[in-house]
Amino acid sequence: MTGHEVDVVVVGAGFAGLRALHTLRGAGLRVAVLESGDGVGGVWRWNRYPGARCDIESYDYSYGFSDDLEQEWRWSERYATQPEILRYVEHVADRFDLHRDVHLHRRVVAADWDDDGARWTARTEDGDTWAGRFLIMAVGNLSTTKRPAFPGEDAFGGEILHTAEWPTTPVAFAGRRVGVVGTGSSGIQSIPVISREAEHVTVFQRTPAFSVPARHAPVSDEQDAAIKADYAARRARAASSPSGLGFVPNRRSALDDTPEERDAVFERAWDGDGFGFVLAYHDLLLDQAANDTAADFCRAKISAIVEDPGTREKLLPTDYPMGAKRPCVDSGYYETFNRENVALVDVRADPIERLTATGLRTASGDHDLDVLVLATGFDAITGSLLKPTITGRDGVTLAEAWRDGPVTYLGLGVAGFPNLFAITGPGSPALLANVLLGIEQHVDWIAGLLTRMRDEGHAVVEADRDAQERWTAHLLERADETLYPKARSYYMGDEVEGKPRVFMLYPGGIRQYRRIIERVAADGYEGFHLGGAAA
Ligand code: N01
């Protein structure tokens, strides 16, 4: 067993961990990043499935901390593909000399707080220990794979793949019969691509999604030059918009407009805004009647695309508000169901029973398959934070502290867990906004706090329990003003059986959130206790 000593232990070498390393190293701290995988990039390393792309525009889903980086990187498409994003992250790691402090194949299995020494010790699967004053969990919100256990899995003679753990070698679909379970973003992105190659694709759908067209396009040299000439303004627009995507909120209610005016607004959003469709009116996620207008518009679009009446009916989402589950952004998803080689099974009406030697059995009969693709998502938001056993003050683990759902102060700190920070943790906007912006906001805020602690000679910072309770109550109140709780979604912990059902993110927008955390910092980190003499 070997022991290592640094100032800050960071868990995860995705976008968040690398940004933390770069910034904290720049502040003069010794940082070690522990990464379970064989390279940097986090989810963008694992999710290599066909069709994987970001559905936030490339120029916004990228780091804003370096003008030179912004100017020299050339995105090729409006929405970058997974290989391009991975190349970008690897470029960043090379360019800023980050690799030397990233330790690969180091899965953190436990971390313990030592009150006397005022430090964390993280232990990796292979028995190494890494001690540091601070522990930063940069583990991502969607990084613990959810893999339903279907009976009979061992008997299945075909191949089983999960979108979030896709093989690094190419998967050939030609001449094969493929089943896809799951119709969230990963399913919706991969199904059109797989069906262009496979002999036959059967889609097993539990909940139909609302999906809007991506309208992918290559980025021309002129567009690239125009964005780069004014990149700072683009970043500023993003940071001062509630979504972090730069969309100017429409102050009108969907109910203020006539049906014709509304259709024109929705049509424009459908044609170019992608994910921003849900922001076409300010109240789409606040008011059921307003939401119904958007949902009706989407259902009409789906109905106009899908030719077979039975399939069309199954694809129409009817039992939750549009946007209350994460909406998807697609390239020809609904059109795919007009192909001869694609079939849709509604597993609510026709439940999956088991895998057999030759395929998947649902209540109505057998579906012969050579490959089964699980696009079944993640144990979201808390999954990767709770995977290692994190033990804070008085031997209390994070899993115990969060038994009834995650409680944090500002999504950054947890009472009873001094010197522990989560990047885009529960209680922050995280997945409800441009997560890259959220990452940079958090890292800069944490760097500011750590610098101040060093300057003032503090060794320990801990969220105040009352401040944490007030923050948690505040975000739940805000969530109750929205339609989010009306859907069964991973925002609410519905994706994993037995997970507490509670809204886990800050729903007030990333602009408002930034104001709050900046004010907290300006007020001397109000709601945090700073103390302990630095050794
Ligand atoms: O996962 P999901 P995902 N039997 O949880 C179904 C981000 N992302 O990997 O809705 C049958 O959304 C489940 O059904 P239901 C993005 O934030 C981004 O697709 O629970 N079905 C659902 O249809 C996204 O939201 C990009 O009823 C089962 C699906 O599997 C998030 O990642 C690309 C089942 C899971 O959908 C997660 O997306 C991809 C079962 N036992 C992903 N269990 C970008 O472009 C689950 N399902 C940035």
Tens of pLDDT along 213-256?
999 999 999 999 999 999 999 999 999 999 999 988 889 999 99
What is the pLDDT confidence band of residue 166, given thresholds at 50, 70 and 90? Answer: very high
Query: Which residue, judged by its Cα, is nearest atom 41 of ligand 1?
Result: 148
Take residue 329 and report the two structure tokens written for it. Answer: 């952004």
Say yes or no: CB of residue 185 within 6 Å of ligand 1: yes
Sign of CA dihedral 21, 32, 92, 246: negative
456 within some domain: no
522 within some domain: no
**Interval 324-333: pLDDT, tens:** 999 999 999 9
72 within some domain: no
State whether 162 and 294 are in the same domain. yes
State whether 286 and 388 are in the same domain. no
Mean pLDDT on 32-49: 97
Query: Which residue, judged by its Cα, is nearest atom 13 of ligand 1?
Result: 182
State whether 322 and 212 are in the same domain. yes
Cα(163) to centroid(ligand 1), Å: 10
75 within some domain: no
Cα(207) to centroid(ligand 1), Å: 10
Say yes or no: CB of residue 182 within 6 Å of ligand 1: yes
Positions of E strands within 226-364: 328-330, 342-346, 352-355, 359-362
What is the pLDDT confidence band of residue 535, given thresholds at 50, 70 and 90? Answer: low
Closest-lying ligand 1 atom to the alpha carbon of residue 188: 19
Q: Across-strand partners of 174?
A: 198
Q: Which of 354, 374, 394 is the last residue of a domain?
A: 374
**Among all chains, which residue has been given the structure tokens 């009979």?**
152
Say yes or no: CB of residue 181 within 6 Å of ligand 1: yes
Closest-lying ligand 1 atom to the alpha carbon of residue 164: 9
State whether 265 and 360 are in the same domain. yes
- pLDDT at residue 532 in the model: 82
68 within some domain: no
State whether 342 and 216 are in the same domain. yes
**Interval 45-104: pLDDT, tens:** 999 999 999 989 999 999 999 999 999 999 999 999 999 999 999 999 999 999 999 999
Mean pLDDT on 105-124: 97
Cα(495) to centroid(ligand 1), Å: 9
Number of domains in the chain: 2
Cα(121) to centroid(ligand 1), Å: 34
Query: Which residue, judged by its Cα, is nearest atom 18 of ligand 1?
Result: 185
Say yes or no: CB of residue 58 within 6 Å of ligand 1: no
Cα(221) to centroid(ligand 1), Å: 35
**Interval 459-473: pLDDT, tens:** 999 999 999 999 999
User: Which of 84, 86, 143, 185 has most ligand 1 atoms within 8 Å of its beta carbon, as the pocket-test mutant?
Assistant: 185
Cα(187) to centroid(ligand 1), Å: 7
Q: Across-strand partners of 5?
A: 131
State whether 224 and 130 are in the same domain. no
535 within some domain: no
Backbone angles phi, psi at 304, to 5 degrees: -70, -25
Say yes or no: CB of residue 493 within 6 Å of ligand 1: no
Cα(188) to centroid(ligand 1), Å: 9
Provide the b/e sequence for 428-457 (b: ≥16 CB within 10 Å).
bbbbbbbbbbbbbbbbebbbbbbeebbeee
Say yes or no: CB of residue 362 within 6 Å of ligand 1: no
Going by C-beta distance under 8 Å and a sequence separation of 6 or more, which residues neighbour residue 408?
414, 422, 425, 426, 427, 428, 463, 468, 471, 472
pLDDT of 435 > 90? The answer is yes
Distance, in Å, from the CA atom of 501 to the CA atom of 507, rounded to the nearest integer, reads 16
Say yes or no: CB of residue 80 within 6 Å of ligand 1: no
Cα(27) to centroid(ligand 1), Å: 38
pLDDT of 450 > 90? The answer is yes
**Among all chains, which residue has been given the structure tokens 């706090």?**
449
Closest-lying ligand 1 atom to the alpha carbon of residue 206: 27
Say yes or no: CB of residue 142 within 6 Å of ligand 1: yes
pLDDT of 1 > 60? The answer is no
Count the neighbouring beta carbons within 10 Å of the beta carbon of residue 466.
11
Cα(375) to centroid(ligand 1), Å: 6
Say yes or no: CB of residue 532 within 6 Å of ligand 1: no
Say yes or no: CB of residue 141 within 6 Å of ligand 1: no
- pLDDT at residue 249 in the model: 80
Strand order in the sheet with 177-181: 159-162, 371-374, 177-181, 200-205, 342-346
What is the pLDDT confidence band of residue 275, given thresholds at 50, 70 and 90? Answer: confident
Say yes or no: CB of residue 377 within 6 Å of ligand 1: yes
Query: Which residue, judged by its Cα, is nearest atom 20 of ligand 1?
Result: 495
Cα(174) to centroid(ligand 1), Å: 25
What is the pLDDT confidence band of residue 2, given thresholds at 50, 70 and 90? Answer: confident
Say yes or no: CB of residue 207 within 6 Å of ligand 1: yes
What is the pLDDT confidence band of residue 193, given thresholds at 50, 70 and 90? Answer: very high
Mean pLDDT on 37-45: 97
**Interval 172-191: pLDDT, tens:** 999 999 999 999 999 999 99
Cα(209) to centroid(ligand 1), Å: 10
**Among all chains, which residue has been given the structure tokens 């007009």?**
338
- pLDDT at residue 498 in the model: 94
Q: Mapping DSSP to helix (H, G, I), strand (E, B) and coil, where does residue 392 land?
A: coil
Backbone angles phi, psi at 323, to 5 degrees: 90, -10
Mean pLDDT on 185-199: 98
**Interval 491-533: pLDDT, tens:** 999 999 999 999 999 999 999 999 999 999 999 999 999 998 6
Task: Return the CATH number at 325.
Answer: 3.50.50.60
User: What length is written for the chain?
Assistant: 535
pLDDT of 157 > 60? The answer is yes
Count the neighbouring beta carbons within 10 Å of the beta carbon of residue 318.
8
491 within some domain: yes
State whether 109 and 186 are in the same domain. no
Say yes or no: CB of residue 347 within 6 Å of ligand 1: yes
State whether 244 and 333 are in the same domain. yes
- The boundaries of the domain holding residue 391 are 3-40+98-144+380-449+462-510
Mean pLDDT on 33-44: 98
Backbone angles phi, psi at 53, to 5 degrees: -145, 165
State whether 201 and 304 are in the same domain. yes
Distance, in Å, from the CA atom of 163 to the CA atom of 490, rounded to the nearest integer, reads 17
> What DSSP state is assigned to residue 430?
G
Distance, in Å, from the CA atom of 104 to the CA atom of 35, rounded to the nearest integer, reads 5
Cα(362) to centroid(ligand 1), Å: 20
- CA-to-CA dists, residue 496 to 34, 352, 376, 500, angstroms: 27, 17, 11, 9
From the list 454, 435, 462, 480, the residue with the least C-alpha distance to 533 is 454
Say yes or no: CB of residue 36 within 6 Å of ligand 1: no
Going by C-beta distance under 8 Å and a sequence separation of 6 or more, which residues neighbour residue 228?
70, 71
State whether 313 and 423 are in the same domain. no
**Interval 358-407: pLDDT, tens:** 999 999 999 999 999 999 999 999 999 999 999 999 999 999 999 999 99
Of 21-35, 106-120, 243-257, which gets the smallest average pLDDT?
Answer: 243-257
- CA-to-CA dists, residue 350 to 20, 132, 363, 430, angstroms: 47, 53, 5, 35
From the list 333, 424, 313, the residue with the least C-alpha distance to 375 is 333
State whether 168 and 130 are in the same domain. no
- pLDDT at residue 206 in the model: 98
170 within some domain: yes
State whether 423 and 309 are in the same domain. no
- pLDDT at residue 365 in the model: 97
Q: Which of 344, 374, 404 is the last residue of a domain?
A: 374
What is the CA 344 to chain-centroid distance, rounded?
A: 27
Q: Which of 319, 354, 374 is the last residue of a domain?
A: 374
Longest dimension (CA), the chain: 71
Helix (H) or strand (E) holding 69: helix 67-72
Backbone angles phi, psi at 91, to 5 degrees: -60, -45
Closest-lying ligand 1 atom to the alpha carbon of residue 377: 1
